[in-house]
Amino acid sequence: MIDQLRQMAIFAKVNDHGSFRGAAEDLRLSPSVISHHVSQLEEHLGVALMHRSTRKLRLTQEGEKLLNATHKMIEAIEGELLDLSSLAGRPSGELRITAPSVLAESPFIGQLATFTKSFPHVRLVLDFSDSRREIIDDGIDVAIRMSLQAKNSATTCKLYQVRRKLVGSVDYLGERPKVKQPVDLKDWTWLELAPVQKKPAKFTKKQATQLVHKKQPRVSCNDAKALYQLALAGVGLAIVPEFLSAEDVANGKMAYPLPDWELEPIEVFAHWPANAPRHGLIKLFVTEMQKSSLVERSVRQKA
């Protein structure tokens, strides 16, 4: 029975990676050993579990049934192990987290600090980058993403929203006539974040909505922090997360040309691998991020 349990776990790992080689690298075994275990399991059961080709693997009907049963078995075992670990009071292990670089300037850092203090035996490997990291290919446990519309799936969850503001330097705005509505800005100098380039800016005020189709931006940049610094230097207007501009607005260096108009907020959400243990460190991390987001939101509302 122990041999079959081991073979079932290896079979599930092959499916998760989509190849014998991927499973072999993860388990630190040779591809031939991985193939041998799957073949032995098929021989023991008397059925084919997957169809193999040089490019991909495809589960048979029997393979799909066994995979579902195997995942339930693994989740149950991991859940019991986590419970034992929790009783011992020290969840441990390593988590590889990737996030957009702009969040390094946000309250997200405080959330990470709270997590590390609460779980000192969990090691975080952090990657702040504007180059999108892939969950499987780059070996990421949790990817923090930002988007105008957060994905909704079994492997994602919303953490919080980030307000966006249209900003310009006081010197830049002082050289131009005051505006009353968003469409008055369409011919101004715009700076844009590359991922949202050519998308109109949607402004709302009570029941009113206006779309601003901007002219060709003077600068297009893939880094929100760099974009904001250019706006601070007086190059033009930029739409940035509010946490980047709040201090400079308070100090009188930057201003909101349309303070009464709102922009669509950015959704910040977590994304993790489909084969992540239901009760493992990934779930712990995401749950704690959700808790700290709720606390922070409550504090802001009271303020």
Domain boundary among 34, 55, 87: 87
CATH code at position 76: 1.10.10.10
pLDDT at residue 302, rounded to an integer: 44
Are 144 and 291 contained in the same domain? yes
Per the structure block, which two tokens stand in for 263?
């922009």
pLDDT at residue 89, rounded to an integer: 60
Average pLDDT over residues 51-69: 84
Enclosing H/E stretch for 241? strand 237-241
Are 153 and 289 contained in the same domain? yes
Are 153 and 174 contained in the same domain? no
The model's pLDDT over 243-261, given as tens digits with 9 standing for 90+, comes to 999 999 999 999 999 999 9
CATH code at position 220: 3.40.190.290
Residue 101 gets which letter from DSSP? Answer: G
Whole-number Å distance between alpha carbons of 288 and 282: 10
Instruction: Write out the DSSP string of 162-222.
Output: E-EEEEEEHHHHHTS---SSGGGGTTS-EEEEGGGTTPPEEEEETTEEEEE---S-SEEES
Q: Is the pLDDT of residue 81 over 80?
A: no
Q: Which domain holds residue 66?
A: 2-87
Domain boundary among 69, 87, 105: 87
In the numeric block, the tokens 């909505």 are attached to: 209
Q: What is the pTM of this model?
A: 0.67
Mean pLDDT lowest among 142-151, 202-211, 236-245, 290-299: 290-299
Which of the four pLDDT bands, split at 50, 70 and 90, describes residue 166? very high
Number of domains in the chain: 3
Are 225 and 290 contained in the same domain? no
CATH code at position 274: 3.40.190.10
Are 80 and 121 contained in the same domain? no
Enclosing H/E stretch for 45? helix 31-45
* 73 or 255, which is more confident: 255
Are 130 and 207 contained in the same domain? no
Domain boundary among 87, 113, 131: 87
Are 223 and 147 contained in the same domain? no
Q: Is the pLDDT of residue 217 over 60?
A: yes
Q: Give the percent of the chain with pLDDT over 90.
A: 40
Mean pLDDT lowest among 27-31, 52-56, 181-185, 211-215: 52-56
Are 131 and 279 contained in the same domain? yes
